[in-house]
Amino acid sequence: MKKLFIIALVLVAGQIFAQTKTATTAANFLTIPVSPRASAMGGAFTAIANDASALYWNPGGLAKLTKSEFSVAYSEWLVKTNYNWMALAYKMDDVSAIGFSINQLNYGEEDVTNELYPNGTGEKWNAQDIAIGLSYSRSLTDRFSIGGTVKYIRQQIWHESASAFALDIGLLFQTELEGLKLGMNITNFGSEMKLDGKDLYQPIDIDRQFNSGNNENVPGSLNVESWPLPLVFAFGCSYEAIHSSDMSLILDVDAVYPSNQSSYLNAGAEFGFMDVLFLRIGRNSIFKQSAEETMSYGAGFKYDFGPVSSKIDYCNTGYGRFGNLSKVSLTIGF
């Protein structure tokens, strides 16, 4: 079984490597990093995946969670948009877990204008992207776990919308070297997206040359193309260099191969003190062509209330000409 899944991953990864397309996919909000913790570590989280954000980074890690978690996060995003994320990871037993997640990119709204009403017609237009995922993960051995997510994806801009379904598959492997883990994840393997809506239906004149008896308003539809989803293959390696009751140090690096841009590396580290305070640093998009991302910094605070725990995480990431963007999250463990 393990070999079968690994072969499938290699075959799909081979398709990714063969593609050289740049900026030719729809629903690119699916690649926006979630979780301030993972983002502060430069997005190098594929081989860690030990909290509710595993639903995004590697569903294979869900089965290894020590308790169920509910997490909500708010992120500033480019050009004054915002990105919201919610996840519930539920431990069914010692070897399996399920999860539910929602990702939403909100573009806000603006006045509708035209050549007759440059200051606005009184209408508003808005746009948003949303993805809803259902996940399942299981430990096949004490060292190896696998997980998958089925997602419904929808993009909407004013009266037009497009939807698709996609699949994520993730693996997590604890090596025989204590503290060293390997992770692999394939995301957004699914159908293409094609916009449709009433603004694409326009009256046309199919015979402008002859006016006699000609109907100038024959109903017609503008034909828009279908676009694939941003298929991404990530391979990660993490190492817990320090693990004691007082301190911990985790180092992680991810190699990322997206279908719509050049490949790159993410790298990061997390230092923990007394399992209460956590400091993080990372770098995203190393070797990526024309990358805007720079360094990421963040911190987290965790407190246990008996069987229930709470975590607050914050991250600040540099995006070059777009300035610095912040993320914050609250997680409840139970």
Task: Concatenate the DSSP letters of all residues of 20-44 into one string.
Answer: ---S--S-GGGGS---HHHHHTTT-
Give residue 257's pLDDT.
94
Identify which has the larger pLDDT, 246 or 223: 246
Q: What is the DSSP letter of 56?
A: H
As a whole number of Å, the CA-based R_g of the chain is: 23
pLDDT band of 4, cuts 50, 70, 90: very low
* pLDDT at 163 > cutoff 50: yes
Give residue 11's pLDDT.
40
* pLDDT at 106 > cutoff 60: yes
pLDDT band of 57, cuts 50, 70, 90: very high
* Extended strands (E) in 69-116: 69-77, 81-91, 96-111
CA–CA distance, 8 with 300 (Å, rounded to integer): 37
Give residue 212's pLDDT.
61
Dihedral pair phi/psi, residue 15, rounded to 5°: -65, -40
> What distance, in Å, lies between the first and last C-alpha atoms of the chain?
32
E strand or H helix at 200 = none
Residue with tokens 């990105």, as numbered in its chain: 83
User: In this structure, are residues 269 and 41 in contact, taking their beta carbons and an 8 Å threshold?
Assistant: yes
Cα 70 from chain centroid (whole Å): 17
Q: List the structure tokens of 193.
A: 């997206």
Average pLDDT over residues 163-175: 96
Residue with tokens 């094609």, as numbered in its chain: 194
Burial grade of 291 (CB within 10 A; 0-12, 13-18, 19 or more): middle
* pLDDT at 18 > cutoff 70: no
Q: If DSSP codes are grouped into helix, strand and coil, which group holds residue 197?
A: strand
Name the residue type at position 169: I
Give Cα separations from 174 to 34, 43, 47, 183, 184 (angstroms). 24, 20, 9, 9, 12
Dihedral pair phi/psi, residue 39, rounded to 5°: -65, -40
Q: What CATH class does 2-333 carry?
A: mainly beta
Count of Cβ atoms closer than 10 Å to residue 285 Cβ: 19
**Tens-place pLDDT, residues 195-236:** 888 888 888 777 666 666 567 777 778 888 899 999 999 999
277-286 vs 295-305, strand pairing mode: antiparallel
pLDDT band of 104, cuts 50, 70, 90: very high
Dihedral pair phi/psi, residue 62, rounded to 5°: -60, -40
Average pLDDT over residues 131-157: 96
pTM confidence score:
0.86
Average pLDDT over residues 31-40: 94
Give residue 223's pLDDT.
83
Name the residue type at position 40: A
**Tens-place pLDDT, residues 288-302:** 888 888 899 999 999
